[in-house]
Chains A and B, each alone.
Chain A
């Protein structure tokens, strides 16, 4: 079973629209993070939300976390063509000294003009 599963797997929207991606996980977490990956490139950190937080904003990004449902959502408002990328949630567990991040399956976002 996957620690992080995202839906939708793929999302196609027009520029200016909002994009919402969802992530579900299975175990207790320390925090949840969202990353962006342009095709063939490295992952770039977008935002981190701690387990005791419910909502966080950063620019056009809004992240929510519902620990009772073990789910998170990433909202990108007023999308731009440059937002086209894959978006991954990643969970950090409460155990371990150098706690790894476990990545979800990702959502491929396509923003068209």
Chain B
């Protein structure tokens, strides 16, 4: 069964360092998303991506964040200069088509900023 894969599963970094989280969405999907979940809290929307551009972003997704789809398969989230409060689980998700519908989530990348 096709699945969304994310790497790394866990990354520990020092405050101020750059981090890149990688995702391989399901191959025929067209809409891509990043969400994050701070431990014990709700799942928060960061950004959506369609047709090689950002469709929507939240207030959390400030200038420190960027997304890229460098080739036909990978979808990356970059945090330029990490802060302590960026510590969270980051989930990539994708969807096949249509304005709304089921999202397929990866298992997440846990980011710990020291």
> Size band of the B side of the interface?
20 to 34
Verify A33–B102 contact, CB threshold 8 A: yes
A1 to B108, CA, bound (A): 27
> Size band of the A side of the interface?
20 to 34
Tell me which residues across on chain B come within 8 A of A99, comparing CB atoms.
48, 99-100
Q: Is A88 an interface residue (CB 8 A)?
A: yes
11 new A-B pairs (CB below 8 Å) besides A44-B105, A45-B103, A103-B35?
A30-B99, A40-B89, A40-B108, A41-B107, A42-B105, A42-B108, A43-B43, A43-B93, A45-B104, A48-B102, A98-B95
A88 to B56, CA, bound (A): 22
Taking Cβ atoms with an 8 Å cutoff, the residues of B that contact A are 4, 31, 33, 35, 42-45, 48-50, 55-56, 89, 91, 93, 95, 99-108
Q: Is A31 an interface residue (CB 8 A)?
A: yes
A48 to B108, CA, bound (A): 22
Tell me which residues across on chain A come within 8 A of B42, comparing CB atoms.
88, 103-106
Given the known interface contacts A100-B45, A105-B42, the answer about A30 and B105 at a Cβ–Cβ threshold of 8 Å is no
Tell me which residues across on chain B come within 8 A of A71, comparing CB atoms.
none
Given the known interface contacts A92-B100, A96-B55, the answer about A101 and B45 at a Cβ–Cβ threshold of 8 Å is yes
CB distance from A10 to the nearest CB of B (A): 12
